[in-house]
Structure 1
Amino acid sequence: MPPRLTHLALHVPDLDACMAFYGRYCAMQVIHQRAAKGSRIVWMAEAGKERDLVFVIMPGGQPRHLAEDDYSHLGFALPSRAAVDAIAAQARADGCLVWAPRDEPFPVGYYCGVRDPAGHYVEFSYGQPLGPGAESLATP
């Protein structure tokens, strides 16, 4: 069996703020947490995806200071352009919108970017050939 991606591990400066962010913006939930070496480690996943891909979030990281044109990011698919717009509006109100909604040629689609409390960029997209609804997209 070839290797399979199962988790991303992130050190963050404020564990509770990141947990709240990923719960609110990404509908992720805590599936496991434990104390380790005087600290708390949290696993978060999307409902129904607990055995596919988890975020392991640990305290102690330094804030990331990415430039607006740095496209390093975590990507989440949404079911519609309206859903992208809704996330962007919420992020604008929360002061964490990095990239306003925009259209790019296939396979990029319609997306916006949001900064999490640790400074990581998170993309929310519609129309990419990845994630929910991808099977209905025609490839050029």
Structure 2
Amino acid sequence: MAASTEFYAEYASMEVVHQRGEPGERVAWISDRTRPFVVVLLERSVDHRLGGWSHLGVGLGSRAEVDDTLQRARAAGHEVLGAFDAGPPVGYWGIIADPDGHNLEVAFGQEVGFTVEAADRGSGPTVTQAPG
């Protein structure tokens, strides 16, 4: 659990806002504290990780922040994919594997607000192909 909470603090600016449980059964809620939203981490033994493009995504303030975050993750020995510039609405992004092998996307320039507004007007959603 500690490796996961430290990972998300370092690369997603999320901190533990609640935790409970005994070793092997711990639960941690992590949040970036920008809205009433948490990601719940459960300490469980599993035989697989999320596959394909399943991921948690966080927005950063600039392309330079994306590059810096990916570089720090590489230097720390994490598996990293990117950076890629996919244009609107996806923006500039990369993927970092967390300690359990799940994907964290760090991105700049994603037009999430515009995409949600378009869906609300009935003109979305859109499907975008991943690179490669």
**TM-score (structure 2 length as normaliser):** 0.75
Aligned residues: 113
Percent of aligned pairs sharing the same letter:
38
Partner of 2:84: 102
CA RMSD, 1 decimal: 2.2
1:2-49 C-alpha deviation (Å, 9 max, x unpaired)? xxxxxxxxxxxxx11101101111111111112279732111111243
- Higher relative helix content: 2
Aligned position for 1:3: none
Give the ranges of 4+ consecutive aligned residues of structure 1 lying more than 3 Å apart after TM superposition.
Answer: 63-67
Match of 2:73 in 1: 91
Letter in 1 for 2:42: M
Q: State whether structure 2 residue 13 is matched by structure 1 residue 31.
A: no
Are the aligned partners of 1:62 and 1:118 in contact in 2 as well (CA < 8 Å)?
no
- Which secondary structure state, in structure 2, belongs to the residue aligned with residue 56 of structure 1? strand
Match of 1:45 in 2: 31
CA contact (8 A) 2:57 2:106 kept: yes
C-alpha contact 1:41 1:58 (8 A) present in aligned 2: yes
Distance in 1 (alpha carbons) for counterparts of 2:79 and 2:25: 30
Given the superposition, is the C-alpha separation of residues 63 and 82 from structure 1 closer, same or farther in structure 2, using an over 3 Å criterion? farther
| 37 and 24 in structure 1: CA distance in 2 versus 1, 3 angstrom threshold | closer
Deviation at 1:85, TM superposition (A): 0.3
Q: Is contact 1:41–1:57 with CA below 8 Å preserved after alignment?
A: yes
Residue ranges of structure 2 left out of the alignment (5+ in a row): 114-132
Q: How does 1:1-140 map to 2 (within 5 A)?
A: 15-35=1-21, 39-49=25-35, 52-62=36-46, 64-65=48-49, 70-130=52-112
Higher relative contact order (CA 8 A, sep 6+): 1
Cα offset, 1:63, TM superposition: 5.8
Query: If each structure's strand is expressed as a fraction of its own residues, which one has the higher value?
Result: 1
The 3 A distance-change label for structure 1 pair 24 and 37 is: closer
